[in-house]
Structure 1
């Protein structure tokens, strides 16, 4: 079979050459092909994919047939044709030497051949995620927001044998992803091609984006590569070449300089920027290398890439944050006269209408709780949370102070910004004013009452149309803060 194949490739090449005359015979050519040669190079990080680029002079409409000389090839799989551009072939995953033969044919010219040896030095790619050891991957998804999920299950892998794979269920969000967080950085500084086996139930072209996040160098950008599945069902292998195809991720996508670095997280979007739903399998994410250890800044045994409280020691069970503790008592009840108070939130007074206690642009979790039969508001993982009274702004022009009670187990700073929308009652209408107050040094683990003079909010020139109240805390994204008795008074 192999010998028969070797005799066929010349006919295959000749079939695309137009003969100038029917009576032309071998040896009667009016032109000749000279200086036939070729280069052979490895074109992937493992060494097993080899590219051949042939060149010659003297021929017209020259076509090259490249026989990669793989005795284990099925049929003519190792024979490629080209008019000059590089052609590639993937050998078996083993180190071996092969005789590569290039044959050139051209109009009215005798065929010419040249043979060279090429040694494949195979180097297996580094396994970044084969899903056999789920614990080492620290997988994350968006199940808490009813988004994409990934589970490790036993399925028939690409080679047809049962193995553990990642089963991804996409819910149709434009930008939903699962994340692999190894304890070591993914290093693409020298080897920069990452491949991933991918299974789809139906034949479709699906955009799949791989992003590397958390650069090890200060100021380094996340980078990403977009691939597209072929429209076939079943298993296929996707390739992401970060040395050739990477772009910087949003919001740095317009910066053209790409820095190949070490990254904390590997992030995969299936159906990137499209409403793709369905179940997909992923396996054998391979390539690059494993570099530096991902830091554990607070030394709590939770690496920074999955630690929700990077600077505060916590527990594995609570995502690296301290176990939440609640106050056991209620704050002291207010005693101001109701006639002198405008209350946003307090059992002691009649509250004004509040549109929301957590705007959609807030960076915080929010819930309502009851402590010692007293309702309170709780913000966790707090960076900032917006409270709004936009439907009916507050006229606090006669008020002199704002009061708020807070209880926190870990906040080191608390801040409150107050925004007046002006007479037009609209955000950014040209007459908005705002001011902010921050405070540190307060006690943790007990209720603390703050009474801030409104004069302490520089920039809050007007107080007749208050509409926004932004609560902030440090550590950023880690603080937990209970609030109660939030009101203005005079």
Structure 2
């Protein structure tokens, strides 16, 4: 019993000791160290990523308010901000209920990528990191130096300085690709004090690079429009001021925008109306390569092996068969299996439709009867500016092509060249044919030559005419003549001389000399199914016969 009491007294003492010590801790808690909230941060430049470093004291709970509507209870949160100014607040607390608040203002600047529209007025756009120059050109952003024309406002603009090198320029890498699926027109404000062409090229896309030129009139700020035909998307926008030219100087650009493409005869990049229907013609008056209106000859290919572009396909436009050339640089249409004689034709016709305006060269090539590259090849070109969004009917005379170096005797037509000048373009083509536009058609006139006026007999020396009395002519086809000969025919009841396959012919009055000293003019009427140059030469023997040394010719 004594032992139990003794143990009880010891236990009581221990309990009292423990209780006493516990009361000492409670007293200390009333004077705990103060909670102090605080933080620092590190910012990853150009990204908006902020790592917060919590330096609060005597706290075990944290509430963050980032000033953009988001919060966190992490100790050291990592947060991604957009550009802007934000007040970040940290409330720190402990289990005893003590708390403290700390706040700091953050300014976040994230450079924006270059996207259309480009105005140069947003200082937060990273032009330095997403643009470049080449070929010697320089680019910088400056204040608008001339508030007039199509840009009569105070704004920032791009300044381009050319040193005068061919194909110098600058480019923008776009943060959002330029998508040409629906809207295919890009416009810019451009300043120049000289007339100049501006070439816009789209690169790094889902399809082939494409480019378009626009002409500036040299009157200060003007709006230029670039109408593309591609349906791809592109991440690089490149400009060449004066393209292949070497114009040096300072130019300005602003307001690069994508706009809705105007239709104008079509919908988007496709014509909705067929090409004009060709007129009815005699079969002998037409050589058709491709047309629903006529019977076509054999064409070996509409896209020869040397062609450059996206190829050619057969499509229908409003029920009419049409050739579609995509992203065309140049193409060759060939008739190699059978040579084609154009000597009876007077004109080349072709209908072309495009959404953009550019120059198209049509070239007619004759192989001279001995194949390509033999040395007898000749080619005549004609250039036509195509209208945007409507059919352009190209009609070129064979005579003009001959002036441009096509042979005078085009009896071996073998190639028709379609060449888009300086750029690539998508074109729809129809009604490719040659025709004879001579009166009466065919290779025979249906109307007589014009009737000469009445003249006194003394005022006329006639060699051949139903209107006057003819002198004696020894021959209308002298022995030195070259060709198929001469025949007497009638045209609408009028006596006529027909020279076939003529190279040259001599008409001679040797039996009796003819005195032209009282005459003032020489006249002759000529009809041909084809256009070519024709020389008439008058020869005087000087009174002592041919070859005496006194012969003269005009």
**TM-score (norm: length of structure 1):** 0.38
Which one has a larger percent strand, Structure 1 or Structure 2? 1
Structure number with higher relative contact order (C-alpha < 8 Å, ≥ 6 residues apart)? 1
**TM-score (norm: length of structure 2):** 0.34
